Structure 1
């Protein structure tokens, strides 16, 4: 499911900020963007996110903001790196014929010249701040996803009601099939010019019984109703149900295919076509559910 969450937490002049966004995807895919010096704690961030999100593409962005309090009395410069920058930039300016002077302001803006407080280089020291900011971001994300989940549940429940209605139409039609088949068989016999067949002829009755046995869809209809009830339970659940609904959609598809192949009846065939079209829309929507 889609969602966005943001959290931040500050202590001793250092502020940790975490942004999390998620988009629909069938499997779980987590991408973490953070300062390279903190990569040792990336696995912890992934574990925390996995506790909240089981499906979808999730992007986590972690950043640090160092305030005056953290910098106070702790400013350090990487002199060797600054000298290297100055030498290379002077050479480049000479090669390009540039006369713009190299200033201290320019040098201090280059990566690594100004060294941050030592605490920001220690993942273990920073982790409590990131952990709290991450918790707040995840709670914000969960709240947004919960709102979307409620909307999806209403939409999917409406689709299941339509599938159930079509299933009941098929169930109401099914008991009439043997009599309709018997009537159609008699009409074909008469059309062939045979007029001496008794309506209660054993061979005719046997053929009708065989047809009734081949076209019996009572078990499939019973299983369909069971799957619908499981869907209803999923809609009331607070746990992740995306994979369960995906599985149920596959089982429902299996049953309706069997019904379509068994029931040689135009009315049921039309209902099956409509059922499968609605089921496909249901399956597509399920891919958005965690």
Structure 2
């Protein structure tokens, strides 16, 4: 399966009888899957299919779907609601009989809510049903276009993430070859530190100092961290090759990368190794940010 991004955009439009319609779909990053649908009045029957189809084909991301429909060739009818107008006129007459108030104007009466009604022409049920079928098919087309765009972006993201893995491997090899982590260099530094301590006092136990030196050297060893980083690189490449909705698992690996690199930096007792660790940390952060876009 191909990798897929969570971001994308698609449109589809069509005509059925007197109805012109257009779908607009947009998806953005999210921790899970969320489908947000806006339909014009009278088109609720489309919702069930749209939600079900989107949930079948998409695993993550917030998807905004908006349908607009226009009916052509049928003019709306404007009419006066006589019942409302008669009630208003009765009230006006009662008030006029008791006061010297000026009689309301025609435009004032027509401006009162409910007096004027705009009535849409009655729809033909057969035309409406045919339009629903066409709108449903158009949603499927828009959804496929959205998925295609997400996959294209996913392919590009996959190449970027593989490059980050190459960078991490390169930096891991540099860290492993750092002169400061060689046993001879560690031993020499510890010997200098012990000698300096012995010069300041004659109460130090040399055997105890040797034991402490061994413990310090063991704590400074980053072999375990480098092995785990190599394992994470291997898992990441496997997931990228597998494809599909692997974004959550890659996000977890990004956290594991960060943990191992932080430990490597904290154990470093050499400026070159520290600089390598900081550079690797920057690459891991780039990896984590890109992973956030994957489904």
TM-score (norm 1): 0.74
**1:250: which partner in 2?**
255
CA distance in 2, matches of 1:98, 1:12: 38
- Compute the displacement of 1:130 (Å): 3.0
Contact 2:180 2:270 in 1 (8 A): no
- Compute the displacement of 1:136 (Å): 0.8
- Compute the displacement of 1:193 (Å): 6.5
Correspondence for 1:54 among 46, 52, 59: 59
Structure 1 unaligned regions, length at least 5: none
Contact 2:16 2:131 in 1 (8 A): no
**1:116: which partner in 2?**
123
TM-score (norm 2): 0.73
**Residues 61 and 119 from structure 1, CA distance in 2 versus in 1: closer, same or farther, beyond 3 angstroms?**
farther
- Compute the displacement of 1:87 (Å): 5.9
**Residues 179 and 128 from structure 1, CA distance in 2 versus in 1: closer, same or farther, beyond 3 angstroms?**
same
**Residues 41 and 47 from structure 1, CA distance in 2 versus in 1: closer, same or farther, beyond 3 angstroms?**
same
Provide Cα deviations, 1:196-228, integer angstroms capped at 9, x if missing partner: x9xxx7556534432232223222222211111
Q: Which moved more, 1:43-52 or 1:183-192?
A: 183-192
Q: Does 1:234 align with 2:231?
A: no
Root-mean-square deviation over aligned CA pairs: 3.8
Q: Does 1:172 align with 2:157?
A: no
CA distance in 1, matches of 2:293, 2:182: 39
TM alignment of 1:19-38, pairs within 5 A: 19-38=24-43
- Compute the displacement of 1:249 (Å): 0.4
Contact 1:5 1:21 in 2 (8 A): yes
Structure 2 unaligned regions, length at least 5: 1-5, 89-102
**1:185: which partner in 2?**
190
- Compute the displacement of 1:121 (Å): 6.1
**Residues 85 and 97 from structure 1, CA distance in 2 versus in 1: closer, same or farther, beyond 3 angstroms?**
closer
**1:84: which partner in 2?**
81
